Amino acid sequence: MMELKRIYASELLADWTIFQQTHLLFPFYSSHRQARTEYFSAVKKGHGFLLRYKADCLFVDKVVEKKAWVINNLLITAELNWKTAFLLLENAARREFKHTLKLKLQANLIIQQWLISQDYRFVGEVWQKQLVYQTGLVLGGGGARGAYQIGVWKALLEKNISFAVISGTSVGGLNGALIAQGEYDQAVALWEEIETDKVLEITFKEVEELDFSAQVDQLRTFIKTSLRQRGLSSAPLRRLLEERLDPQKIQQACPLSVVTTKVPAFQEIIVSLNQCPKGEIIDWLLASSAFFPMMAMAKIGNDFYVDGGYRNNLPVDVALQQGVTEVIVVDVHGPGLDKKYRLPAEVAELSLASPWSLGDLLLFHSDRASVNIDLGYLETKRAFGELQGERYFFSCQSDFQRLTKDFLQKVKKQVPLELDQLYPELKKFFRRSVPVELLSLACLEFFAYWLKISPVQVFTPSELIVVLRRQIEAPSKFGPGISVQEQIEDFINHHNLFSDYHQVLQIYQQTGSWEQWYRRWPIQTLLALFFSYLQEEL
């Protein structure tokens, strides 16, 4: 996925050889050298960004306005041409749904003609282009995890993003119908009251608390009953949809397509619900979500259908066939086949898929649905640059660079820090790019994850530190609706004496000098030092 991400000085220095070979795409400055110098200054000021495309790079100095990007500098590596570079830039702006792209440059006659041919106009001393949107929304299958998609919708509503096309499979088709209908409160009400017995014909033993043993018992009952009956009836789900959906509104909404699988031919069937008779709309939604053998096959006419995920669980191709300029793809980790597709160069893609597990696939719990709605909402806002963090969420005003600087000043007294060698070590340990400037953020998220802090809250660094301390002193139980699989995985992780977390604790509890540990395990030692820093300094 192509994304224009902020770059920090430590990252730029790591790519210094590549950066020194860049050249101006257009005359933002009088020379390539001056442009590189000014870009390095922009990085220090916080408005230097980088987009990687195959083996090439696009270095952008941009200032973000409410509805626009102002581009002050644009440097590219050798193989990129004008057309590709501008396409990448415009697609990056589309991912954040900016209305206007502004270029601050002095253009000669040839460049002026080219900009005009690309729909740029010279207004107020800058070249401007208005971006026009025909947005496709793609919703993947994933059963009970589908509440996440409603949280995504909430964030999109706040940005007044409308859809020209919606395509969905299984629960993505059900949510697509709710979204096409345009009644957010109805969708939330459905998910916040949902339980397994309101979706499928099954009865569980009543329990005072849905603990681990009760969840295992529910799962065992679900599997045994579904296999004995050759799939559970979805009659309760039909009743729920009949209460919440208005077929007439769906017929009049934007084009909405759902995917199902016809058996025994195992053939992918794409159904346009806008063109269906009102009485068949719910039939096709149930056919798209009939996850056989756990759920009974759906019969329409003389034919039988099962879950569309068996053939196309994430129907991006269906949306692309309808002339969209960008697609928002919401993947909730459902089983099935993610069909390959070719994204046209001129189409932007915003992919949303949580790094967190979203819980059980077929056991519905209203508490977990509420958590997943919040998670979808916050992760979408972060994708739009309104929050920061990797797994957790922090306000954009949170100053992790200051916190990191303060921590490293104290650490230098205990270990021989070599900052120029720290970035590759961080990247290796965390298996992703972690700027040295954001070391404190990486450390906080590391401990928050291992101490089971819920992610569905916007923190400041000091607020998360308070929560971490409280969890250390009095560990709390799991959050609502955590699945059996998550509890088993957590047990394994926390009892694995060779895990990163246990290694950090071992170093923290050591009696020797920090320096000897740092030379052997630098990042683990820094994490242990940060843990000590949390305990003693803050």
Catalytic residue set: 170, 307
209: left (phi over 0), alpha (psi -120 to 50) or beta: beta
* Cβ atoms 250, 281 nearer than 8 A: yes
How many CA within 13 A on the CB side of residue 261?
Answer: 22
Of residues 259, 353, 256, 361, the one with CA closest to residue 309: 259
Buried b (16+ CB within 10 A) or exposed e, 400-410: bbebbeebbee
Name every residue whose Cβ is closer than 8 Å to that of residue 356 and which is 6 or more positions away in sequence: 375, 391, 455
Q: How far apart are CA 203 and CA 199, in angstroms?
A: 11
Token duo for residue 27: 């005359």
Q: How far apart are CA 90 and CA 97, in angstroms?
A: 10
Q: What is the CA radius of gyration of the chain?
A: 26
Phi, psi of 301 (to 5 degrees): 65, -130
Q: How far apart are CA 453 and CA 392, in angstroms?
A: 9
Of residues 484, 457, 480, the one with CA closest to residue 375: 457
* Cβ atoms 327, 349 nearer than 8 A: yes
Q: Which amino acid is at 176?
A: G
Q: How far apart are CA 389 and CA 433, in angstroms?
A: 13
* Cβ atoms 504, 528 nearer than 8 A: yes
295: left (phi over 0), alpha (psi -120 to 50) or beta: beta
The terminus-to-terminus CA distance of the chain in angstroms comes to 38
* CA distance to 6, 16, 42, per residue, from 45 (Å): 11, 18, 5
Report the DSSP beta bridge partners of residue 261: 268, 306
Cβ neighbours around 118 below 10 Å, total? 14
- DSSP assignment letter at 99: S
